[in-house]
């Protein structure tokens, strides 16, 4: 099992670990994990998160983010050889970019990921080796956190569709990437058919923050985390709905606790 942890680790706290069936844990990344071709600045410690493993178990793709510029890229780690390759360094340019949330297709041939520039984020798909990058979304929304359906024909993702402008923070150097200030409402789950390009809005509550969706193994249901900032408890809970968005209901309502992640195997 792969997971990201905020255990103290030099300058970038969040790193990726793998846990074996017997409970033993191995750290896979460090603040200096990099593609040697990138030649990181000596003060640019890297955090690593959002891991996903290839279906043959050989590779791990993850988000590698800079503590110096706030940019992020998609790296691939070969668990057999230890080789690290930056799959999205071609996206860097005049404007800081933030590539994140890589996910392997069920057959392992493609990777879908989110790429943000300023106050815009869209979904892209590329071959598993980083070639043939092409956009999946191009509307004026902030799209992120993609998840493949088990048959590889659809993707569900989180999308901000509110009217409040997304603002870039001012607390970082003006020559570097700036963190985005995001509202906690008007986040919906959208389903995209990769064969036709047709989309469906699955969740409807504009006051909630629906995100981190995962499919059931048989593809009939979707679980997700929903946070309602306007509720008295102000907590997040796990919900399950049919794959077409109907019959959404909480798995359980907890008091004074918040569920942040969900997985379905």
For residue 237, give both structure tokens.
Answer: 């809970």
Quote the CA–CA distance of 21 and 191 in Å, as a whole number.
Answer: 33
Higher per-residue pLDDT: 256 or 200? 200
Rg (CA), the chain: 18
The percentage of residues in the chain with a pLDDT greater than 90, rounded to a whole number, is 56
Q: Tell me the pLDDT of the chain averaged across its residues.
A: 85
Which helix (H) or strand (E) element contains residue 152?
Answer: none
User: In 3D, which of 2, 7, 32, 30 has the Cα closest to residue 17?
Assistant: 2
Domain locations along the chain: 39-201
| More confident position, 258 or 10 | 258
Express each pLDDT in 180-196 by its tens digit: 567 778 899 999 999 99
Note the pLDDT tens digit of each residue in 43-81: 888 999 999 999 999 999 999 998 888 889 999 999 999
Three-state DSSP at 164 gives coil
DSSP-derived 3-state class of residue 89? helix
d(CA 179, CA 176): 10
pTM, two decimals, is 0.88
pLDDT tens digits, 89-128:
865 555 668 899 999 999 999 999 999 887 789 999 999 9
pLDDT value at residue 7: 53
Residue 215, H or E segment:
strand 209-215
pLDDT surpassing 90 at residue 152:
yes
Structure-block tokens of residue 94: 């005049």
**Best CATH choice for the domain 39-201 from the list 3.20.20.190, 2.120.10.30, 3.90.850.10, 3.40.50.2020:** 2.120.10.30
pLDDT at 10: 43
């Amino acid at each position: 099992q792969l997971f990201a942890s905020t255990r103290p680790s030099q300058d970038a706290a969040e790193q990726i670990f793998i846990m074996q069936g017997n409970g033993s844990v191995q750290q896979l990344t460090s603040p200096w994990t990099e593609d040697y071709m990138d030649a990181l600045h000596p003060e640019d410690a890297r955090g690593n998160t959002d891991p996903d493993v290839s279906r043959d178990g050989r590779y791990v793709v993850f988000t590698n983010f800079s503590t110096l510029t706030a940019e992020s890229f998609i790296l691939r780690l070969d668990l057999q050889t230890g080789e690290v390759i930056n799959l999205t360094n071609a996206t860097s340019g005049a404007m800081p970019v933030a590539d994140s949330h890589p996910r392997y297709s069920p057959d392992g041939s493609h990777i879908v990921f989110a790429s943000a520039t300023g106050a815009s984020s869209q979904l892209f798909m590329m071959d598993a080796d980083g070639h043939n990058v092409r956009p999946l979304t191009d509307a004026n929304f902030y799209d992120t956190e993609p998840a493949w359906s088990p048959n590889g024909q659809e993707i569900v993702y989180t999308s901000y569709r509110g009217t409040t402008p997304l603002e870039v923070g001012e607390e970082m150097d003006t020559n570097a990437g700036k963190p985005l200030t995001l509202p906690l409402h008007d986040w919906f789950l959208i389903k995209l058919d990769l064969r036709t390009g047709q989309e469906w809005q699955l969740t409807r509550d504009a006051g909630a923050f629906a995100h981190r969706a995962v499919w059931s193994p048989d593809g009939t249901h979707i679980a997700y985390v929903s946070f309602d900032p306007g509720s008295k408890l102000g907590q997040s809970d796990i919900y399950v709905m049919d794959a077409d968005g109907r019959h959404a209901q909480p798995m359980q309502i907890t008091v004074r606790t918040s569920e942040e992640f969900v997985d379905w195997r």
